[in-house]
A = this chain, B = another copy of it.
């Protein structure tokens, strides 16, 4: 059976905060796209399945088409908890592990890995983007590649010979939100100062416990009347600096290596600044193209008719 024998299908990237759903042709061409604010963290139990049947399928004229969904929709908060698959994993392995919900609905499982430090890590949704990124260029199927997907929980993924080998999650975005909204560091302003961000990056790479470097944001406001917008930028830079100075070595990356960034363009721009200062060459990838390619690949790998 070749892709030409397959029907159109419904594909969705359904996370904690947002939902994007496409009607795709069998070869992954985008025929329609809708966005909704129905992240599973915002829905009541059972609501995700009803949204799929009553709103998403009709909106994309996909009532009877196969649907393949990735992201937190595959957790206990979503439609059903899809057990994690283990690393290393490629598209074929993940395709065999799709969780069948009913005759026309499948969920992509997340991935679990064991890191060199002996502890586990988990990912749910980003595996599909990374597999799609791999599928978009055959040259990527050989050797080692590292992708960084910044966000609330940034994911740093090591790909080796076409398989997701392992990854590290870094909760930089969540820490920034907590500290700038609920802690003594809150300045009441949004980050607004490129020089403050750059200064924060340098201090993020400095020695000492993070909790001590963080307090500097407060001490500078009290002792030096640091401008609130600059304080917020300094905090953002400090957290991104701590991450970008210390995480690449955990994945074996050395300065000079190439690293691919994928995600929100504004956030990727901040990470690019940070990582270029660390001596990395940055390549920016299109997250939307990647997730569409990943869901298309998994649909075929899973032999979903």
Q: A-side interface residues toward B, CB under 8 Å?
A: 84, 112, 117, 119-122, 153, 168-172, 174-175, 178-179, 182-184, 203, 206-212, 214-216, 218-220, 222-224, 239, 242-243, 245-247, 249-250
CB pair B223 A112 closer than 8 Å: yes
Q: State the CA gap A54–B121 with chains docked (Å).
A: 57
Nearest CB of B to A118, in Å: 9
What are 25 contact pairs spanning A and B, CB under 8 A?
A: A112-B223, A117-B206, A117-B208, A120-B219, A120-B220, A120-B223, A121-B216, A122-B222, A122-B223, A153-B184, A153-B215, A170-B209, A171-B211, A171-B212, A171-B218, A178-B178, A178-B183, A209-B210, A209-B242, A210-B242, A211-B239, A211-B242, A212-B243, A212-B246, A212-B247
Closest B residue by C-beta to A75: B222
Closest 6 CB pairs of A and B: A120-B223, A170-B212, A210-B210, A169-B215, A209-B246, A209-B243
Report the copy number of this chain in the oligomer. 2
Closest B residue by C-beta to A84: B223
Q: State the CA gap A209–B239 with chains docked (Å).
A: 9
CB pair B178 A246 closer than 8 Å: no
Most interface-central of A184, A207, A209, A223 (chain B CB within 10 A)? A209
Q: Which residues of B contact A206 (CB under 8 A)?
A: 117
Q: Which residues of B contact A117 (CB under 8 A)?
A: 203, 206, 208
Q: State the CA gap A203–B120 with chains docked (Å).
A: 13
